[in-house]
Amino acid sequence: MEERLSLVETPVGLIVFNDEEVASYAFNNFEEAVSYYRGEVVRGVASFLRKWKGRIIFVERRSAVSTLSSIGLKPIVREPLDDAVKLRSDFETILKILGLSVEEYKSFMLMVANKLAQDKINELAKRKDLDIVMALQSYDELVKIMNVIQDRIIVWIRERAPSLLEENKDFEKIIERICFGNFESDYVKKMAELYLKSRECRNIVEKQIGDFMEETAPNVASVIGPILGARLISKVGSLARLASLPASTIQILGAEKALFRALKKRGKPPKHGIIFQHPWVHGSPRKIRGKVARLLASRIAVAARVDYFSGRFIGEELKRELENRIKALRGGAS
């Protein structure tokens, strides 16, 4: 029977359990440790581990699999790893195996943790889909501000100038009249000016979202539109996450509460979430909205995967196919 190998990773070095035997490797410096945890093949680590080349070794960290495989080992992820759990409960044994003092361990660990955290921050800062998420949040906040201002101005108009509503039902035109007309109430005029400035800012942010989506997820933007596409990416956190989701999950993104409520009470699950806002869904007859939402979600899933993994543009093709399928569905429903 083959001996069981387990790899326990610590910030300062590696410990291999080979049945009753224990072997260790202490990183020479924190740069070597950081390189290893980045997934790079470090010469010292590779020399240490190659003595078990071709052997099965259990690890806890999934991201270590590719590194260990490149060295020639056969890693298997096991969470939790028994040897690691036992070792973490006995800190003095870790220090003894690695030949370090408490101060040396803590100092080295802090340097490695700080560097890896900084790398992660820099990686997030470079992500284009992070710009999409932040821009969409700004867009939604501007819309909320405009809605609040609109409500306050309408209340004032109904109480003090109802004739404005009688003359014109278009709120945007009423706002412009208040801004450029003669009104005794200065604060209402300032609020109207603030509404127009917020609208201008919202339009700028909307255009920026379109640019970000065109650069990062052009296929998703083509299929469902830049704002709704950005809303889906924002909901799951990244384009990578959206690309990993099945169409059935994309279909109900944004309707999680309704789904859990339906599961709890054994009711009907929701047929659509965020994508209901798309005209193809909410503009379809009620009895086929579920089918339309399912069809749209399937093409969004394809578009997201192509955007993330390939970069080819097939958005127009997907959109054209969708339009034909939806027209056929609507025709059958009528």
Average pLDDT of the segment spanning 69-73: 93
- Domain 5-125, CATH 3.30.420.220 — does that match? yes
pLDDT-based confidence at 217, cuts 50/70/90?
very high
pLDDT at site 1: 43
pLDDT at site 165: 80
Going from N- to C-terminal start, the domains of the chain cover 5-125, 128-216, 224-334
pLDDT at site 3: 63
Report whether 105 contacts 12 (CB < 8 A). Answer: yes
Q: Which of 30, 36, 62 is nearest to 49 (CA)?
A: 36
Task: State the CATH class of domain 224-334.
Answer: mainly alpha
> What torsion, rounded to 10 degrees, do the Cα atoms 151, 153, 154, 159 define?
130
CA-CA distance, 256 to 85, in Å (whole number)?
35
pLDDT in tens, 251-298: 999 998 888 888 888 888 899 999 999 999 999 999 999 999 999 999
Is pLDDT at 2 greater than 80 in this prediction?
no
Average pLDDT of the segment spanning 177-184: 77
CA-CA distance, 242 to 190, in Å (whole number)?
42
pLDDT-based confidence at 314, cuts 50/70/90?
very high
pLDDT at site 161: 84
pLDDT in tens, 133-165: 999 999 999 999 999 999 999 998 888 888 888
**Residue 202 has what DSSP assignment?**
H
Q: How many residues are there in the chain?
A: 334
pLDDT at site 183: 67
Token couple for 177 = 């009249």
CA-CA distance, 158 to 319, in Å (whole number)?
45
Task: Kindly report the average pLDDT of the chain as a whole number.
Answer: 90
Backbone angles phi, psi at 259, to 5 degrees: -65, -50
- Other CB atoms within 10 Å distance of the CB of residue 202: 18
pLDDT at site 334: 61
- Other CB atoms within 10 Å distance of the CB of residue 97: 17
Cα-to-chain-centroid distance, residue 162: 47
pLDDT at site 125: 61
Is pLDDT at 51 greater than 50 in this prediction?
yes
Report whether 152 contacts 215 (CB < 8 A). Answer: no
Instruction: Return the SS3 of 162.
Output: coil
pLDDT in tens, 84-114: 998 888 999 999 999 999 999 999 999 999 9
Is pLDDT at 180 greater than 50 in this prediction?
yes
CA-CA distance, 15 to 24, in Å (whole number)?
4
Residue 214: partners with Cβ closer than 8 Å, 6 or more residues away? 221, 226
Backbone angles phi, psi at 182, to 5 degrees: -100, 110
Is pLDDT at 315 greater than 90 in this prediction?
yes
- Whether this prediction's pTM lies above 0.75 is answered by no
**In Å, how far are 32, 123, 212 from 133, measured between CA atoms?**
34, 15, 10
Q: Residue 13: which H helix or E strand, with range?
A: strand 13-18
As a whole-number percent, the residues of the chain with pLDDT over 90 amount to: 68
